[in-house]
Amino acid sequence: MFKTGVADVRVDVQVTQGKDPVGGLGKDDFVVSDEGQPQALVSFEHGDEPVNLLLLFDISESMQPYIDQIAQSAREALDHLRPADRVAIMVFARSTAVHQDFSDNLAESARQISGAMKDWDVGVTTNINSAIVDAAHYMAKNASSGGRRAILILTDNLATSFQLTDGQVIRELDKADTVLNAIVTGRAIRPNPLALGMFPNREGKDETPANVFHLAEETGGEWVKAGEASQTFGEMILRIRSRYMLAYHAPESQPGTFRHISVKLSSEAQKKYPSAEIKCRSGYYAQ
């Protein structure tokens, strides 16, 4: 879910059937509810709105081969974007660094990827949750107004979340109006649900395995195992670019309260796409 000022709620939506995105849907093909109450859409976009895309690269030592693969095909991958789209590049390990500020020069952004790992010393451990929060804060401060906001993280997901819980990360992404998407390299094993006491807290801080799978799902994004990283990168850029944006007037509510939203296909669209799956945020915090 996304918010525009105090008037509208904007919902970034992906519709898939099987593994493939569903294109060609129209405004009347969606049914949106806020706290169970149907909402009239006041805006509908599919592919026309600009995208602010932040590439967030894990540059711990094991990631070098994957970044090299992506760099080789980056120009072709970024060709899925449009002239009004903007790309920024951030790298992380223990800390983060902005490798390239937002730019609409897509050719230069593609060129910059090859130096993402070589140009920075950001430590040797991997702090995924804090890196995503840094990326969300950068997005909130630097993304252009309007359009969609997306982070695409490339990581092996091998880290421990010590200082930031998943809930805190999701809250920051929500405040930044940003969907998280993930390419997970290596074995790409999703952490099992935690047993009570499995990962004790230190000094009151959560200490659990990193889980970009969960973060992507909770923000309405997608995750994928890397496979051939260069091919996967291009496919994810295309999927990010092919999402729908729906908007409705925000109902009156107490500021700071969490409001649940749901997005479904209309009965006619369901007949056409009976196994369609919708990915979007589950709600928003009222302003």
Looking at the fold, whether 112 and 222 belong to one and the same domain comes out as yes
pLDDT at 207: 66
Tally of domains within the chain: 2
112-166 pLDDT, tens per residue?
998 887 778 887 788 999 999 999 999 999 998 878 999 999 999 988 776 788 9
Looking at the fold, whether 139 and 256 belong to one and the same domain comes out as no
Looking at the fold, whether 206 and 162 belong to one and the same domain comes out as yes
Could you tell me which residues come within 8 angstroms of residue 124 by beta carbon, excluding any fewer than 6 positions away?
60, 61, 93, 94
Looking at the fold, whether 9 and 97 belong to one and the same domain comes out as no
Looking at the fold, whether 190 and 152 belong to one and the same domain comes out as yes
Looking at the fold, whether 95 and 9 belong to one and the same domain comes out as no
265, 236, 264, 278: which is closest to 51 by C-alpha? 236
105, 102, 109, 101: which is closest to 74 by C-alpha? 109
Looking at the fold, whether 216 and 267 belong to one and the same domain comes out as no
231: domain range?
51-241
When pLDDT is averaged across residues 27-33 and rounded to a whole number, the result is: 98
Looking at the fold, whether 256 and 237 belong to one and the same domain comes out as no
Q: Specify the pTM.
A: 0.90
CATH code, domain with 236 = 3.40.50.410
Looking at the fold, whether 42 and 80 belong to one and the same domain comes out as no
Looking at the fold, whether 32 and 108 belong to one and the same domain comes out as no
Q: Which of 209, 226, 241 is the last residue of a domain?
A: 241
207-211 long-range Cβ contacts below 8 angstroms, 24+ apart: 207/160, 207/161, 207/162, 208/160, 208/161, 208/165, 208/166, 209/159, 209/160, 209/161, 210/126, 210/128, 210/129, 210/155, 210/157, 210/158, 210/159, 210/160, 210/161, 211/157, 211/161, 211/166
Query: Which H helix or E strand runs over 101?
Result: strand 96-103
Say if residues 13 and 278 touch (Cβ distance below 8 Å): yes
pLDDT at 200: 44
Looking at the fold, whether 88 and 151 belong to one and the same domain comes out as yes
155, 65, 78: which is closest to 110 by C-alpha? 78
Site of tokens 């959560």: 206
Looking at the fold, whether 272 and 154 belong to one and the same domain comes out as no
230-275 pLDDT, tens per residue?
899 999 999 999 999 999 999 999 998 889 999 999 999 999 999 9
